[in-house]
Structure 1
């Protein structure tokens, strides 16, 4: 019995994901993977990059303050816009009391070894899917994780004092 092999071109969505993965890796050095079954790109957290996820309302305040401090890095919104993810330089270890403070305000420093979905391109600024509010820039280094964490804690402490 002879098996014939038919060459078929990859579907457009898969070519788009492969192109996006290559762009992230070549432009930014991010460890991006393709999850074919889900048709998404993910970035591994912990070695090259870290991620801090928070509600969009808090994220908007943090983003504005980081911009003023010239510490704003890439910020991504999830499909429904309810949560934003700030990408930072890797953090060695998060102190337990800080993790608890952040958890109280629904902020998560994504654990090392986990993967975060990223838009199909580092240039996607709008749309109904994952998109960049602040796209990554190869000419700008990522902000320190503690800049994002510290700003988040400061803003949430101010809110508690004002309440």
Structure 2
């Protein structure tokens, strides 16, 4: 005999979070059941730039001054920050390699990035979940990738010159 049981709470939370991302932001978010996370597809509407948290904090500060800030999330251990932006049309040859030397990764088209369970900021203990540094806002579009890349390059080049 088949017995219907309600879905586990974690699965209901992920499904609700996925719905919130799609309804509020129009983001292509999916549930990855095996890892119990939400993922966003990197492609024609969303780009992701991941860097060490210390560099991310400096980039975020500069973006804020330039009024180019957007959604920023951190991994459970707060070691890496990811900036979600509009995708760049094209990058000059060598830019991605230059950034990679600084441990800055541009997520390739077709890859996936984990996002927090909800598109709003919610307190979670460090080491337990992905969370927002700056959550997305429905009325505010993601900034272009170019300011994030330019500020990151400026800060890392400046650090090398000072060393």
Please state whether the residue corresponding to 2:14 is helix, strand or coil.
helix
After TM superposition, the runs of 4+ consecutive aligned structure 1 residues lying more than 3 A away are none
Match in the other structure for 2:113: 116
With normalisation by structure 2, the TM-score equals: 0.95
> Do residues 148 (structure 1) and 144 (structure 2) align?
no
Check the 8 A contact 2:56/2:81 in 1, yes or no: yes
- Equivalent positions of 1:65-144 (< 5 A) are 65-127=62-124, 128-144=128-144
Match in the other structure for 1:64: 61
Moved more, 125-134 or 52-61: 125-134
Check the 8 A contact 1:126/1:132 in 2, yes or no: no
Check the 8 A contact 1:125/1:135 in 2, yes or no: no
Radius of gyration: which is bigger?
1
Please state whether the residue corresponding to 1:42 is helix, strand or coil.
strand
How many aligned positions are there?
160
For the aligned residues, what is the CA RMSD?
1.0
Q: Distance in 2 between matches of 1:73 and 1:95?
A: 23
Check the 8 A contact 1:21/1:34 in 2, yes or no: yes
Summarize the Cα distance change of 1:150–1:125 in structure 2 as closer, same or farther, 3 Å threshold.
farther
Check the 8 A contact 2:121/2:134 in 1, yes or no: no
Residue 96 of structure 1 and its aligned partner are, at CA, apart by 2.9
Deviations 1:100-139 (A, max 9, x none): 1101100001000000000000113432310000000011
Q: Distance in 1 between matches of 2:14 and 2:93?
A: 37
Match in the other structure for 2:11: 14
Residue 56 of structure 1 and its aligned partner are, at CA, apart by 0.3
Match in the other structure for 1:159: 159
Match in the other structure for 1:23: 20
